[in-house]
Structure 1
């Protein structure tokens, strides 16, 4: 990471803003649906409102469960997380017709920062294909050397120009806003897990890869 460091209070505030942004839309839809139920007598409209409430409640719940693992403490320092739980919340988040998820991560207990990194890479991958597509998540762990690969494939797949700088902890203008905090946080988590991130693009696929930072340093020294 670079010398840039975000104040801990600002980091907490920006992450909170990001989570609220993700949840406020479905919660607002629930409120709207309840208002329709209170005022509307037409059976068809009431049925539509109930469907809206049910769908929005599922969406809000899925997003909160995802955020709990991706951003939350999820246990004390040094705690591990079941990758099966991570798969469950990721599938809940992408449970729609627009984006499909392929999960090739063995079910094991992993250090929480590595699991949080996988989930945050899924968010970056999803942002790379706003029109939808396929997200493939794969992980291998040989002799304690973890490698994570997340591919996002879809029409005009691309990574926003500011994302690589945020992942590297070197934000443009030495400032981070609520829009960029998730990518910056992902870089912090990767650093805490001693993993180095790289981004590549080929055709309609964007690949995000995390490899041990120590292994990369050794490889560079031997080159």
Structure 2
């Protein structure tokens, strides 16, 4: 959040001093871009870490897609493909999917493809997120966090989200897994469906 909020602050300072109409228009354009980026990140944080879609047990898939597509749009070299069955997903599945997508986007340092799939099967939400691209960047401590093997001193801003979703999966009786090589990172989860949603 620091980058877009800082850009807005700088833009407002420039706008206050600028008299040239063309430069003022450019400042306003930059302010609008920074506001959009900030809004998209706040939506991500709300769904990935907060109450996610109000008080119901499920979140509309369209809301999740909008958030991830907006995050990926910041990098024009990333293409996002979707394969989600159904119109909504349980909140725990949404939190895991969003955090998987964030980890995968961070891994695509040279651009590439982000494939996201999910379906409800046999009372479980099954999620797969695959990042494909040249030279995947993936910190081993994030992998340890996903596996629940993080040492107390290794928890940091880079590993906190992975640690949180590992705890979430464990709490509801599910599991996370990942596999990586130089050109791909695959993140998967099987999460039991909340009792209120089975039917």
Matched pairs, number = 190
Alignment RMSD (CA, Å):
2.0
Report the equivalent of 2:122.
Answer: 143
Q: Which residues of 2 match residues 168-179 of structure 1 at below 5 A?
A: 168-179=147-158
Q: Where does structure 1 differ by over 6 angstroms across 4 or more consecutive aligned residues?
A: none
Deviation, 1:173, is: 4.7
Unaligned 5+ segments in structure 1 are: 1-22, 214-223
Matched, 1:43 2:28: no
Matched, 1:204 2:183: yes
CA deviation profile, 1:159-214 (whole Å, cap 9, x unmatched): 2111111112222354412232112112123223432211112441111111358x
SS of alignment partner, residue 162 of structure 1: helix
Q: Residue 109 and residue 183 in structure 1: after superposition, are their counterparts in 2 closer, same or farther (change >3 A)?
A: same
Q: In 2, distance between residues paired with 1:117 and 1:200?
A: 16
Instruction: Verify the 8 A CA contact 1:129 1:157 in the aligned structure 2.
Output: yes
TM-score, normalised to structure 1, is 0.77
Between 55-64 and 197-206, report the one with greater CA deviation: 197-206
TM-score, normalised to structure 2, is 0.86
Q: In 2, distance between residues paired with 1:173 and 1:189?
A: 18
Q: Which residues of 2 match residues 84-95 of structure 1 at below 5 A?
A: 84-95=62-73
Q: Which of the residues 59, 65, 86 maps onto 2:37?
A: 59
Q: In 1, distance between residues paired with 2:191 and 2:43?
A: 28
